[in-house]
Structure 1
Amino acid sequence: MASPPPTAADAKLEILKNQVYEQCLDEEPDTVFRQQDILDMGVIPDSDAALLLEVTQRLVDEKLFKMVRDGQLGWMYRPLEDALKYRGLTHEQEMVYSLIDESSTEGIWSKTIKNKTALHESLMRSALKALETKRLISDMKSVEHPTRKMYIKSTLRPSEKATGGAWYTDNELDEAFIEGLTGVLYKYIEARSFYRSTSRRPLKRIAGRPAPKQAQGGDTITLLPLPPTYRGYPSLAELTLFIESSPITSTTLSADDISALLDVLIYDRRIEQVVAGPEGVAFKAVRKAIVGEEAVERGNGVTEAPCGRCPVFELCEEGGPVSASSCVYFQEWLTGGGF
C-alpha cells in the first residue's frame, strides 16, 4: 500500500528542517545550539518556539541532531555520513554506538559502556557484536590499560595516548628505537657544539683527560670549544627536520616527539639548552672529562676556572693555537660570566 502524500504542513516542516541543518553545518561539529541560537538563524517564522521544537525533533529522529543536556536543552549536529550509520540500529545498539562515538580516538572500556547504558551483560554483548558485524566499531589495544577490552569507531585511529605514539611497537616500548634516535641526535648536536683542530704537535696524555685522537698522517684531532658569541647551535626545528629528512626511521616524528628525546638527553646531562638562534632556544653538547673509565661532568671546587676544565689545555701556550692572553673563556670568567 502506497504511503499517503505529504501534507502541506509536513512539506513546510521538511523545508525548515533542511534550512536549519544547512546553517548548522557552517559551525564546528562540537558546537552546541540552544533554542535561541536556532531562532536567531531567522529560519523559524515569527520565532515560533513550538514550531522550533517540531523541527528539532525531526532532526533528532533522523539522527541529524543529538540532544545535549548540561543544565539546559541543546543540540549538536551530526554530519550526514555519520547520521546514516545510526539509522537502522536498535535502541540498544544506538545506546552503545553513541558512547563509542563520543569517546572519539581515546576509545572506551566495555565496563564503562555497561555502567553508562545500564544494559544487561547479554544485551550489551549482543549490541557490540552487531556493531562489529556492521563494521561500525572495532576493538583496540591501549598501552595505558593493556588488560581492558576497549572499543573505538572503525573509521578512527586510536590516539597516541592509547597507542603510546612513536615509541611503542606492538604495544611494547621500543627501547632500542629510542636509544638509537637519542644517540643520533646527540652526535648531531655534538658535531655542532665544537670545532675540530688538527695539530702535528706531539701530545701526551694527562691524567684524568681523554687521550687525543690521531688522524691519518699522525696529526692529532682536538675538539675545541666554540666562542661565546657562537649562535649556530641546532634548534628544535632544525633537529626535527634533520630526523624527518634522514633515512634513520620511516616513522613520522613530530617536534613534540623530538623534544621528548632531547629532554632525556638533558636529564642525562649529555646536552643543555642555550639561548641562541631564531627560536631563542638551542641545544649544545655538555663537555665531559674522563676519570678512569667513567665520563663525568667537568668542574669542582678546584677546577671552576676555565684552565682547570679546558679541553685543549694541552695546546695552550703563548704563540700556539690557544693562549691565555687570547682566551675568550678566561676573560669571560674573570668578568663574572661563568664558564
Structure 2
Amino acid sequence: MASPPPSALDTKLEILKNQVYEQCLDEEPDTVFRQQDILDMGVIPDSDAALLLAVTQRLVDEKLFKMVRDGQLGWMYRPLEDALKYRGLTHEQEMVYSLIDESSTEGIWSKTIKNKTALHETLMRSALKALETKRLISDMKSVEHPTRKMYIKSTLRPSEKATGGAWYTDNELDEAFIEGLTGVLYKYIEARSFYRSTSRRPLKRIAGRPAPKAAAAGPETITLLPLPPTYRGYPSLAELTLFIESSPITSTTLSADDISALLDVLIYDRRIEQVVAGPEGVAFKAVRKAIVGDESVERGNGVTEAPCGRCPVFELCEEGGPVSASSCVYFQEWLTGGGF
C-alpha cells in the first residue's frame, strides 16, 4: 500500500527546514544558534515561535541539529556527512557516539563515557563494540594516560597532546631522536658563532715582553674565537627551522614550536644563549666552553691576572676597532680595583 502524500504542513516544514539549515551552514561549525538568531534569518513567517520549534525539532530528528543547553536553549548544526552517521544508531549508541564526537582530537576515557551516560557497563560496552564495528570510532593511546582505555572518532587523528607530538614513537619518548637533533642544531649554531684560528702563536704580544714560545712540535689545534660585537650572522628560529626542514636528518615534519623546544633544552644546558640580532630581533649563539684541566695552560701570573691576558678577543683589540682598551669595561673595572 502506497504511503499517503505529505500534508501541506509537512511540505512547509520541509521547505523551512532546508532554508534554515542552508543559512546555518554559512556560519562556523561551533556557532550556537538561539531562537532569536533563527527568527532573524527571516525564514520563519511572522516570527511564529511554535513554527520555529517545529522546524528545529525536525532538524534535531534528522540529526542535522544538536541541542545545546547552557542556561538557555540553543542549537548547533552538524554537517550532512556527520548527521548521516548518527542515523540508524540506537539510543545508547547515539549517547556514546555523541560524547566521543564532542571530545574531538583529545579522545575520551571509557570511564568518563560511563559516568556521563549513566549506562550499565554491559550496555556501554555493547554500544562501543557496535560503533567500532561500524568503523565510527576506534581506540587510541594517550601518553598522558597510558593505562586508560581511550576512544576517538575513526576519521580523526589524536592531538599532539595525546600522542606526545614529534618526540614520541609508539607512545615512548624518543630520547635518541631528541639528542640527535639537539646535537645537529648545536653544531649549526656553533659554526655561526665563532671564527676558527689555527695559529700556533699569538698574533700580538704584550709590549716589552717576548712573545710566548709556541708549543713544541705538536698537532695544529683549532681555537674558537668570538666574533665582533657588530656581527649579525647568528641564526634565528626561522632559519634553524628551515635548516632542519630542508636537511635529510629526519623525515618528520617539525614546526617552529618543535625547534623552539629543542633550543630551550640547549639554553637550559648552557650550550647556547639568546642574543638580540637578525631580522626577527632574536637569534642564537653558542656559549664558549671554559678550558678545564688543560695541561697546556700555564700557571697564572701577572699577565694572566689582567683582563688582557685572558681576553678571548685579544687578536681583535685595537684602537678604532670593535674592541679596544679604551672602551673595555673589564679593563676599566680591573684598573679601579674591582677585580676580574
Same fold flag (TM > 0.5):
yes
Contact 1:194–1:224 (Cα < 8 Å) also in 2: yes
CA distance change for structure 1 residues 320 and 126 in 2, over 3 Å: closer, same or farther? closer
Quote the residue 1:214 is aligned against. 214
Give the direction of change, closer, same or farther, for the CA distance of 1:183–1:3 in structure 2 (3 Å limit).
Answer: same
Superposition map of 1:23-102 within 5 A: 23-102=23-102
Q: Does structure 1 retain, via aligned residues, the 8 Å contact 2:267–2:273?
A: yes
Matched-pair contact (CA < 8 Å) for 1:195–1:223: yes
CA distance in 2, matches of 1:156, 1:25: 21
Cα deviation per residue 1:91-144 (whole Å; 9 max; x = unaligned)? 000000000000000000000000000000000000000000000000000000
Residues 143 and 162, structure 2, Cα contact 8 Å, conserved in 1: yes
Q: CA deviation at 1:311?
A: 3.4
- 1:29 touches 1:77 (CA, 8 Å); kept in 2? yes
Cα separation, partners in 2 of 1:272 and 1:70, compared to 1, 3 Å: same
Structure 1 consecutive aligned stretches of length 4 or more whose deviation exceeds 6 Å: 202-218, 293-305, 314-323, 325-339
| Deviation per residue, 1:273-311 (Å, 9 max, x gap) | 111111111111111112127999999999998546533
Equivalent position of 2:9 in the other structure: 9
Q: Distance in 2 between matches of 1:297 and 1:46?
A: 98
- Structure 1 window deviating more from structure 2 (99-108 vs 188-197): it is 188-197
Change in CA separation of 1:295 and 1:40 when aligned onto 2, cut-off 3 Å: farther
Q: Deviations over 1:72-104 (max 9, x none)?
A: 000000000000000000000000000000000
* Cα drift, residue 198 of structure 1: 3.8
- 1:226 to partner: Cα distance: 1.0
Mapping of residues 131-150 of structure 1, within 5 Å: 131-150=131-150
- For residue 202 of structure 1, give the secondary structure of its aligned residue in structure 2: coil
In structure 2, relative to structure 1, the CA distance for the partners of 1:318 and 1:95 (3 Å cut) is closer
Q: Contact (CA 8 Å) 2:234, 2:284: kept in 1 or not?
A: yes
Question: Per-residue CA shift, 1:196-243, capped at 9, x if unaligned?
Answer: 234364899999999999999996533221111112111111111110
Separation (CA, whole Å) in 2 of partners of 1:298 and 1:261? 39
Identity of aligned residues (%): 97
Q: 1:333 Cα deviation (Å)? A: 10
User: Is the CA contact (8 Å cut-off) linking 1:298 and 1:309 kept in structure 2?
Assistant: no
Q: Is the 8 A contact 1:136 1:153 kept in 2?
A: yes
Is 2:235–2:283's contact at 8 Å kept on the other side of the alignment? yes
1:87–1:3: structure 2 CA closer, same or farther, 3 Å change rule? Answer: same
Partner residue, 1:299? 300
Decide whether the 8 Å contact of 2:307 with 2:334 is kept in 1: yes
How far apart are the structure 2 equivalents of 1:225 and 1:10? Answer: 82
- Which residue of the partner structure matches residue 120 of structure 1? 120
Contact 1:212 1:222 in 2 (8 A): no
**Paired residues of 2:228 and 2:323 also in contact (CA < 8 A):** no
1:128-166: CA deviation from partner (whole Å, max 9, x where unpaired):
000000000000000000000000000000000100000
Q: Structure 1's 202 and 128: CA in aligned 2 closer, same or farther, altered over 3 A?
A: same
| CA gap 1:100/1:334 in 2 versus in 1, 3 angstroms | farther
> Which whole-Å CA distance do the structure 2 matches of 1:295 and 1:68 have between them?
76
RMSD of aligned alpha carbons: 5.4
Q: Tell me: CA distance 1:276–1:301, structure 2 relative to 1, closer, same or farther (3 Å).
A: farther
Q: Is the 8 A contact 1:190 1:285 kept in 2?
A: yes
> Which structure shows the higher strand fraction?
1
Task: Tell me the number of residue pairs that the alignment of Structure 1 and Structure 2 aligns.
Answer: 339
Relative to 1, partners in 2 of residues 1:315 and 1:73: Cα closer, same or farther, differing over 3 Å?
closer
Distance 1:268 1:305, change over 3 A: farther
Distance 1:8 1:217, change over 3 A: farther
* Equivalent position SS for 1:199: coil
Moved more, 65-74 or 288-297: 288-297
1:244–1:252 contact (8 Å) kept in structure 2 = yes
Greater Rg by CA: 2
In the alignment, structure 1 segments of 5+ residues that lack a partner are: none
Runs of at least 5 residues in structure 2 that lack an aligned partner in the other structure: none
Report if the CA contact (8 A) 1:56-1:65 is conserved.
yes
- CA gap of 1:64–1:173, structure 2 versus 1, over 3 A, is same
Q: Look up the match of 2:317.
A: 316
